[in-house]
Amino acid sequence: MTEDEALVAYTRLTELGEGEFKIYQIVVDPQYQGKCHGKEIINRVIEFAKPSDAKQIELNAQVSASDIYAKFGFQELGEASSCN
C-alpha cells in the first residue's frame, strides 16, 4: 500500500490449498501507524480471497494485536512455536 508514492504497508497472502489461505507479515511503517492502513490491508486480503471461495484464512500475530484481528472475525487458536 502506498501513500504519496511511498510504501507504507504490506502483507503477503498465500493459498495453502483449496479455499485455505494464510496471511504473512502485516507490516505498517511506524510513521503511518494509526491511520487505518493495517485495517485496509486486512479488508483487501479478505476481499481478494472471497472469489476463491475462501473457507479459512489464518495468520500468526503478536498477542498485542489479537484484539485488532478479532474485529475481523479471526479467532485465537493457540501459541505458535518457535525454534531457538
Beta carbons within 8 Å of 27's beta carbon, 6+ residues apart = 9, 10, 11
What CATH number did the domain enclosing 62 receive? 3.40.630.30
Q: What is the pLDDT along the chain (84 residues), one digit of tens a residue?
A: 888 788 899 999 999 988 899 998 888 999 998 999 889 999 998 898 888 888 889 888 777 788 888 898 888 887 765 555
Is residue 62 in a domain? yes
Is residue 83 in a domain? no
Count of residues in the chain: 84
Is residue 16 in a domain? yes
What is the tally of structural domains in the chain? 1
pLDDT of amino acid 16: 92
Beta carbons within 8 Å of 80's beta carbon, 6+ residues apart = 60
Cα distances (Å, whole numbers) of residue 51 to 45, 48, 59, 74: 11, 7, 19, 19
State whether residue 73 is helix, strand or coil: coil
What is the reported pTM? 0.75
Q: Using alpha carbons only, what angle is made at residue 68 by residues 63 and 72, rounded to the nearest 5 degrees?
A: 120
